[in-house]
A and B are shown apart, each in its own frame.
Chain A
């Protein structure tokens, strides 16, 4: 009968069995859709991954971002240039001061203000401390994600001490708002320099401890080696920058390629990987921590004397102490806050943040607030690499890949 024959199913009608090469022994099941996040503890904030799984293998991934979108670029158009520092702090909240440095350099380039050498040196110091702060959280949380929970304690011991230094310098542990257009908000005292020097001197031994915990750890190897591999070609195509690009063997570092601040005068190495997998990203970041400590030691030993904010008080906020005691500085403060306008123009300026190229594209119409600010956030762009990294790998690898990729959703969603 025709009705019976219609129910016969031929082999070609069966859903295709996914073959992963050597994985012929894998059990296949009906593809299962899973939503990982946005409240998943391993997605580092509010990333949502819509996954399609075949058994334990990822066959489709759609990262959903935007849960932390706060409209910073829109807000920037309503704020003065100095006010916007408050929002840059909260981009990559692990390295608030580095975000501020990028914005300060961008506005200074637009207005033709030059910060004095001491301010430049302090900013370079802050950039490297912030790189360490971000890398320490990455090491701590990455350890937790891959099963080495004690790593968290070791990394956060150093990070707390680092934040104590920042607290002493700026008055706040994090989200400091310490940078000023034309300089910094307060001077670096000799006592604090001595404390920083001690921290920096102790730090390389602590990195050795991290490595004792992780680098030779067999479980860690099993979790990270060959996981989330991308080629240099793929990384460049996807616009990946920072440690994730360098792990693929491309030695591009903005501190060298498009230098800013005092980096041309400093001695440091740019570590690169060879395989571009999660383990290489780990190794590159660990070596970057050592290099940052090396840079900091050079800077703290040769800190230039002089002003820490440009004396151009028609364009720059005068130091607070003098505002309260001197009539002229008070007038300058008032006029700078209420009516300072940089010239018309456009600037794209990028700095090497902990995760890659953090750029600000600033368009000024000559008004007291920017016409348009576009933040080129490395976390947002690097996150695109999650797709080629995870496809075909196991579900549990996603956690290791996210840990090694390291993005901050505050910066990603802006």
Chain B
């Protein structure tokens, strides 16, 4: 009795089981390169996570392998997750004109050593993209020929798209508000003694606790 049902389920389930989905050549090729497939999101794009050390070789293969042929780098976005390790994420969107396929590749970058290999040598467009990611989030791109700030002034000391940067700005960038009172800000800005730090930005603004009942938020979203 013990060994009677041991065989039938396997033999009977094999013909009834749905045929396995056709292997996705992109996912197979990317996995072979060392990229880790991630669940797709609402837009249905294939998502891959690549280790920081593997990124240069993966990027080279993605650009030059005729099976992949991602000729056009659409976008590079730096994202800050203050409570996550590694803290930063660089998100690349690549487009293969040959196969008309867009993929999203994510590379995690730790806060202690915020550095990732530059891909300017593979896609010339990465030049300004990487300068922007450096400017906004503070991720450095090793091997970039001219890594300067691009949108903020050259001597600007902060990286404004980090989550701990207040939307109102920091320090003397706001001093004219106190002098002239022309722009409307919160009252605390007007009375703040010189040199005192501004109140940290409320990351849960617009979503007080429990308000959006049941909708999960990222843990780092609620922090601060």
The docked-state distance in angstroms from the alpha carbon of A87 to that of B165 is 20
Specify which chain B residues have a CB less than 8 angstroms from the CB of A69 in the assembled complex: 151-152
Least CB distance from A383 to B in Å reads 8
Least CB distance from B90 to A in Å reads 11
Q: Is the CB of A66 within 8 A of B151?
A: yes
Specify which chain B residues have a CB less than 8 angstroms from the CB of A240 in the assembled complex: 125
Number of interface residues of A (CB under 8 A): 54
- Is B124 positioned at the interface, with any CB of A under 8 Å from its CB? yes
Specify which chain A residues have a CB less than 8 angstroms from the CB of B206 in the assembled complex: 78-80, 367-369
Q: Is the CB of A361 within 8 A of B91?
A: yes
Specify which chain A residues have a CB less than 8 angstroms from the CB of B212 in the assembled complex: 339, 341, 366-368
The docked-state distance in angstroms from the alpha carbon of A367 to that of B222 is 10
Using an 8 Å CB-CB cutoff, how does the interface string of A95-109 with B read, 1 for contact, 0 for none? 000000000000001
Specify which chain A residues have a CB less than 8 angstroms from the CB of B41 in the assembled complex: 345-347
**Which residue of chain A has the shortest Cβ distance to B72 in the bound complex?**
A236
Stretch of B11-19, B96-104, B180-188 with 4 or more beta carbons under 8 angstroms from chain A: B96-104
Q: Is the CB of B167 within 8 A of A384?
A: no
Using an 8 Å CB-CB cutoff, how does the interface string of A316-350 with B read, 1 for contact, 0 for none? 00000000000000000000000101011111111
**Which residue of chain B has the shortest Cβ distance to A367 in the bound complex?**
B207
Stretch of B1-9, B50-58, B213-221 with 4 or more beta carbons under 8 angstroms from chain A: B213-221
The docked-state distance in angstroms from the alpha carbon of A347 to that of B100 is 18
- Is A381 positioned at the interface, with any CB of B under 8 Å from its CB? yes
**Which residue of chain B has the shortest Cβ distance to A83 in the bound complex?**
B206
Specify which chain A residues have a CB less than 8 angstroms from the CB of B123 in the assembled complex: 237, 239
Task: State the total of A-B contacts with C-beta under 8 angstroms.
Answer: 137
The docked-state distance in angstroms from the alpha carbon of A347 to that of B42 is 6
Most buried by A among B93, B124, B127: B124
Q: Is the CB of A347 within 8 A of B205?
A: no
Specify which chain B residues have a CB less than 8 angstroms from the CB of A384 in the assembled complex: 124-125, 127-128
Q: Is the CB of B161 within 8 A of A73?
A: yes
- Is B62 positioned at the interface, with any CB of A under 8 Å from its CB? no
The docked-state distance in angstroms from the alpha carbon of A347 to that of B93 is 11
Q: Is the CB of B97 within 8 A of A366?
A: no
Specify which chain B residues have a CB less than 8 angstroms from the CB of A71 in the assembled complex: 160, 167
Q: A75-B167, A346-B43, A369-B205 given as contacts; is B128 within 8 A of A361 (CB)?
A: no
Known: A109-B43, A384-B127. 18 other contacts (CB 8 A): A66-B151, A69-B152, A73-B161, A237-B71, A239-B125, A258-B102, A339-B211, A339-B212, A345-B41, A348-B102, A361-B93, A366-B218, A367-B204, A371-B221, A376-B74, A376-B75, A381-B125, A384-B128
Task: Offer 11 A-B interface pairs, CB within 8 angstroms, sorted by A.
Answer: A71-B160, A75-B167, A239-B73, A346-B41, A361-B93, A365-B218, A366-B212, A367-B206, A367-B217, A374-B77, A384-B125
6 closest pairs, A vs B, by CB? A239-B125, A374-B77, A66-B151, A367-B207, A341-B212, A365-B218
